[in-house]
Amino acid sequence: MADLAEVPPERHADRVVGQMLGELIAKRYGIYKAIVKAFKDSSDGNPRAQERMASRIRKAGAIDVTLGPGTNGRYTMTIMELTGWNPATCKELGPDDPIPDKPWLALIMDNLKSHGHKKKLEYKSYPLLFFTHHAWSRCAVRFGLRHEHEIIAFARNVWMELLRRQDDFTPLFEPPPAGWRIPVGGDVIACMQKHDRLVATLVVTTLLIKGEEV
């Protein structure tokens, strides 16, 4: 195998991206199993028990878990995760799916709603923010994000910065044709466009250093 120092940065970035993608997809599947297991096996009738369920899901690797507690097993839960996405099929990548040549990253929001006493658990999943393969590769090449926890932290930071600035970008999911350029820490700027097929979804097309042009 060639020494990494001899591998072109783009090819090395693709290797890093591919490895991280497999880890993220596996974690996403593990979180889904944790949700099902927690609902089946855990008591969820009161806020304290519901918080224990949320804690189990956090430990499974979710980026963020927000609990709306309630009594008699009625509660809501919002879970944020990062996983792989196939832009050609416009679908999330599963653990048994082949990896496309240029996969995207997707920040996914899962909404759970329990109607009480384990009668019914509504589960809906929505992609909110994508990172194109180009943007993700630049994270590895330009900014040295080579590990799963680093890319997760960066993606969460981009999303939180967008929410923090949402008064400047109203409506949130309706950027102008030229898109938005949003500072996301230091001299890094995220260029965002509206997804051309999905409603209420943004795409980070590339990442720039302040003063750099596309």
Please state, in angstroms and rounded to a whole number, the distance separating the CA atoms of residues 187 and 38.
42
Residue 14 lies in a domain: yes
Please state, in angstroms and rounded to a whole number, the distance separating the CA atoms of residues 135 and 163.
20
Please state, in angstroms and rounded to a whole number, the distance separating the CA atoms of residues 118 and 41.
10
pLDDT band at residue 91 using 50, 70 and 90 as cut-offs: very high
pLDDT tens for 2-29 read 333 343 445 556 676 777 888 889 989 8
Residue 214 lies in a domain: no
State the sign of the Cα–Cα–Cα–Cα dihedral 192, 214, 184, 21. Answer: positive
How many domains does the chain fold into? 1
Residue 50 belongs to domain spanning: 6-209
Residue 50 lies in a domain: yes
pLDDT tens for 118-152 read 677 888 998 989 999 888 888 777 777 777 788 88
Pairing of the two strands 188-194 and 202-209:
antiparallel
Residue 1 lies in a domain: no
Supply 139's token pair: 């994270």
Residue 90 near residue 197, CB atoms below 8 Å: yes
Q: Would you state the pLDDT for residue 2?
A: 33
Q: Would you state the pLDDT for residue 160?
A: 85
pLDDT tens for 157-200 read 888 888 887 776 667 788 888 888 888 877 888 899 999 888 77
Please state, in angstroms and rounded to a whole number, the distance separating the CA atoms of residues 6 and 3.
5
Residue 207, Cβ neighbours under 10 Å: how many? 24
Residue 183 lies in a domain: yes
Residue 105 lies in a domain: yes
Q: HSE (CB half, 13 Å, CA atoms) of 104?
A: 23
Q: Is the pLDDT of residue 69 over 50?
A: yes
Average pLDDT in the chain: 82
Q: Would you state the pLDDT for residue 106?
A: 93
Residue 162 lies in a domain: yes
